[in-house]
Amino acid sequence: MQKNLFILLISVFFFLAHACEKDNGNDVGNNDNGNDTTDVDTLKIHSFYFHELEPVVEAAIDHEELEITASIPPTANIANLPVTIEYTEGATLSPPSGFAYNFSNPLQFTLSKEDESVAYTARIDYGEDDENELLSVRFPDLFRDGDIEDNNVMLEVPFGTDLTEVLVELEVSEFASVEPESGSTVDISSPFDIIVTAENGDESVYTLYTTILEQETGVRAFWIPDPTHTPFLSNYEKMVEGVELASELNFNTLYVVAWAKTRTLYPSQVLADHSTYQDAREGMFTPDYQGMSDDPLADLIQLAQAHDLKVILWYEYGFMARWGSPPTPENDRLVAENPHWVGINNQGEPANYNNSDFYYNAYNPEVQQFLLDLVMEGVENYDVDGVQGDDRMPAMPRNSGYEEYTINRYKEEHGGEAPPANAHDTDWVRWRADILNQFAVDLYDAVKAHDPDLLVTNSPNPYPWAFNNLMQEWPVWLDDGVVEIFSVQCYRYNLPAYKATINEVLSYYNNHGDGNLQRLSPGLIVYGSAGLTDRQLLFDKVMYNRSVGITGESFFWGPEPLADERMKRLLRAIYPGPAIFPDF
């Protein structure tokens, strides 16, 4: 009996030992850390996962049905999915682990070892996405985006914006839907819910809050050039359309050219008296004009006043005689009568800037008086709101001042010493700049003596460029208080350059005069050699102005470029309501 019991125990011991050997032997898959406890003859895929997805997706494995199933994110590329597979150690897998495969259709993975093989079928599909994020809220007609903060969307719009029918464009998570649909017209006059629904049905609610900014006080203007650029001043119907456009787009000021190319907007006896024009009408831009009257300026004033628009006479050419070629008695009506009016530079040639802008001698009192008389003729004969000089009045090329009159005047004031040959000599520059600065004072005093309510304005180039090239020392004009609206020509073709120019202008503007930013209405280019300016760029310039406290702009030029439907859309966005004209 005892002997039989001993033999039974020995048999059990060897059976258990042999079983342990089998469990710790060859039935261990790749990278499974020896945790497989299946029989050595059983071939298995232990894990099947897509390691490059974020987060990693591990498939479910049914060893009885020999099926592998997984749902991957909708953003994954099911036709090119790298896969990592762990399986019985010593077995061969086909196709192998670690490569990318096309799982658009069921794909078999076969394990083989010695005479055994087993095939698993991988069935991979797309799962439903749970993302329901609102990525952006755009209002293209307003040129504005909502600012998304948590589940709130904040929007600021200018005074006068119509909030009842606003086009909205919404961007959400890739597989989500949104209510209202992107591209809808919505009423945002009160808090407005935007519901984003994920593919799996989860919802996220965002609420839009709209703030209307206060009504602006500022100068909104555009320049109207001579009839070689626009029919505005030569065709009454076009004039009516242009004025109505200015009113519709909430401008409040028109800078209308009064003097250019030795011609005037209005009949000028002053011009006739100093030139070879036979009478006051011959020297007009449009001597044969016919409208409500025979005077384009009179008609414009009547139309503008009916729309509460101010008219400011823009003496565009100022002291400049011609563009492109020097003035001579043969090509210039003023020089034909006054040959000594031609400016001369330190090379003994007609004074010019950039070999294109040729000047009369602005240091000569006769020339200055002619310009003063021309301006006073305009303000005395017409009910205008003001006058404007620009980058040519007062101005002279830096290398000018070598005319006989100017040389003799300098000698009289300097003990017979002639002006320096170096046009950039500090004292010589100072002497000439003082003459031009005094003209700015004389112009202001003459206009104000006639009517204190008339505005004296200017549109020079940015400083110090204006001084270094054209002797325009406008910080001194501000200190002297002789400029009431300041439309510095900030013509730049990209936003960084514009910002830099505005910052430069402000660095001088804020340190001279009274620093009232309502006087500042920077000149923005609307139409140039490349055609219309990019609308988004123009909008960004205006927004930058607002960010630094500037509340007005002056556009070069109109009305035709501003009548373009694309430009009108922009202007309706930045000027949806009228501005208050500053009280100077």
CATH of the domain at 230: 3.20.20.80
pLDDT score recorded for residue 74: 86
Is 469 in a helix, a strand, or coil? helix
CATH number of domain containing 140: 2.60.40.2340
Q: Are 226 and 297 within one domain? A: yes
Q: What pLDDT does 530 receive?
A: 80
Per-residue model confidence as pLDDT tens for the chain (584 residues) = 443 433 333 333 333 333 333 343 333 334 343 334 334 348 999 999 999 999 999 999 999 999 999 999 888 999 999 999 999 999 999 999 999 999 999 999 999 999 899 999 999 999 888 899 999 999 999 999 999 999 999 999 999 999 999 999 999 998 999 999 999 999 999 999 999 999 999 999 999 999 999 999 999 999 999 999 999 999 999 999 999 999 999 999 999 999 999 999 999 999 999 999 999 999 999 999 999 999 999 999 999 999 999 999 999 999 999 999 999 999 999 999 999 999 999 999 999 999 999 999 999 999 999 999 999 999 999 999 999 999 999 999 999 999 999 999 999 999 999 999 999 999 999 999 999 999 999 999 999 999 999 999 999 999 999 999 999 999 999 999 999 999 999 999 999 999 999 999 999 999 999 999 999 999 999 998 788 999 999 999 999 999 999 999 999 999 999 999 999 999 999 999 999 999 98
- Spatial CB neighbours of 415, under 8 Å, sequence gap ≥ 6: none
Long-range contacts of 375-379 (CB under 8 A, 24+ apart): 375/313, 375/315, 375/443, 375/446, 375/447, 376/446, 376/447, 376/450, 377/266, 377/268, 377/269, 377/270, 378/258, 378/266, 378/297, 378/313, 379/313, 379/447, 379/450, 379/451, 379/454
First to last CA, the chain: 128
The pTM assigned to this predicted structure is 0.82
In this structure, what DSSP letter does residue 411 have? H
Q: Which helix (H) or strand (E) holds 525?
A: strand 523-525
Strand-by-strand arrangement of the 144-145 sheet? 144-145, 134-139, 166-172, 184-186
Residue type, position 329, single letter: P
Whether 356 is covered by a domain: the verdict is no
Last residue of one domain, picked from the residues 154, 180, 212: 212
The residues, any chain, with a CB within 8 Å of residue 433's CB and separated by 6 or more, are 467, 471, 473, 476
Asked if 78 and 155 sit in the same domain, the reply is no
Same domain? For 206 and 230 the reply is no
pLDDT given at position 23? 41
388 and 290 co-located in one domain: yes
- As given in the structure block, the two tokens for residue 287 are 């001597």
537 & 485 share domain: yes
pLDDT at residue 205, rounded to an integer: 98
- 565 assigned to some structural domain: yes
Flag whether 442 is in a domain: no
The answer to whether residues 394 and 506 belong to one domain is yes
Q: CA–CA separation, 138 vs 152, rounded Å?
A: 14
Q: Coil, strand or helix: which one is 472?
A: coil
3-state secondary structure at position 157: strand
Residues 254 and 393 occupy one common structural domain: yes
Residue 168, in any domain of the structure? yes
| 114 in any annotated domain | yes
499 plus 555 within the same structural domain: yes
Domain of residue 118: give its range: 26-126
Q: Is the Cβ–Cβ distance between 53 and 73 less than 8 Å? A: yes
Distance CA 31, CA 134 (A): 42
**Which of 569, 562, 563, 556 has its CA nearest to residue 525?**
556
Q: Is 533 inside any structural domain?
A: yes
Cα–Cα distance for residue pair 522/486, rounded to 1 Å: 7
Which of 96, 126, 156 marks a domain boundary? 126
Q: How far, in Å, CA of 268 to CA of 168, rounded?
A: 54
Domain boundary among 212, 240, 265: 212
78 and 191 share one domain: no
pLDDT at position 528 = 81
Residues written for the chain:
584
Query: CA 487, CA 497: separation in Å to the nearest integer?
Result: 17
Radius of gyration of the chain (CA): 41
pLDDT the model gives residue 160:
97
Tally the domains of the chain.
Answer: 3
Residues 164 and 231 in one domain: no
pLDDT at 29: 38
Predicted pLDDT of residue 16: 38
Cα distance between residue 255 and residue 386, in whole Å = 9
